[in-house]
Amino acid sequence: MTKVYDSPAAAVGDLPAGATILISGASAATEPSSLLAALADSGVGGLTCVCDFSDCQPDSMVAALVASGQFARIISPNPPDDLVAGADASRLMPLGLAVEEVPQGTLAERLRAGGAGIGGVLIPVGAGTRFAAGKELRVIDGVECVLELPLRADFALIRGSVADTLGNVMYRGHQRGWSATMAAAARVCVAEVDTVGEPGIIDPELVITPGIFVNRVVQTTRGT
């Protein structure tokens, strides 16, 4: 049994219009750029994108997909206006793009809840602010908390360093940032990695995301 796909295009070939996708990384160096390039080439649109725009640069594929208008909605700690300092934000904000700004820690917890299959998390962050608008509030030990619902997606596109044919993944540096959390929170997880090998290529102690959470593996085509 192997989870390895021949190309990024094949790995995302059945990603449908209107899908919700999780994209790991926070910069061009840590995003799954080959998978995102294949997604751009497919032209599929109406997508809801969940990602971290913190360090997104003009050469990133996330920025390119925002500019192309393939995203209908974005859930992120940072709105697209902040994608590139000094750039023309209007060209990165297609007309009608809906943006849900979520604090970074809250987004991580919502994804973790989605992956764990629990009904939500109570978080003190955001209570008494615009982030609590329309949400259920609870007082826990005298502290007002916001009930944040779990977040799951149709696809997770993550970036790793090494994977085996069973889908076990090891990360290097900042690749680990969102990848492990997002891998568990999607119906289909696709891992783009630098190196693919047979089982045993990764020291078991270094496996961060077990193969049970990874459905597809593809080797990057855009360098390391």
Per-residue pLDDT tens digits for 153-183? 999 999 999 999 999 999 998 888 899 999 9
Does residue 93 have a pLDDT over 80? no
Strand order in the sheet with 162-164: 169-170, 162-164, 195-197
Distance CA 44, CA 13 (A): 10
Residue 183: predicted pLDDT: 97
Query: 62: which 2 tokens?
Result: 């996330």
Q: How many helices (H) and strands (E) does the chain have?
A: 6, 13
pTM of the model: 0.90
179: helix, strand or coil: helix
Average pLDDT over residues 127-141: 93
Secondary structure percentages of the chain, helix, strand, coil, to 5: 30, 25, 45
| Superfamily name and number for 8-118+150-219 | Glutaconate Coenzyme A-transferase (3.40.1080.10)
* Mean per-residue pLDDT over the chain, rounded: 88
Residue 79: predicted pLDDT: 64
4-25 pLDDT tens trace: 999 999 999 999 999 999 999 8
Q: Give the DSSP H/E element, type plus range, for residue 144.
A: strand 143-148
Alpha helices in the chain (DSSP H): 8-11, 33-42, 61-68, 89-92, 104-116, 176-183
Q: Indicate the domain borders of the chain.
A: 8-118+150-219
According to DSSP, the residues that pair with 195 across neighbouring strands are: 162
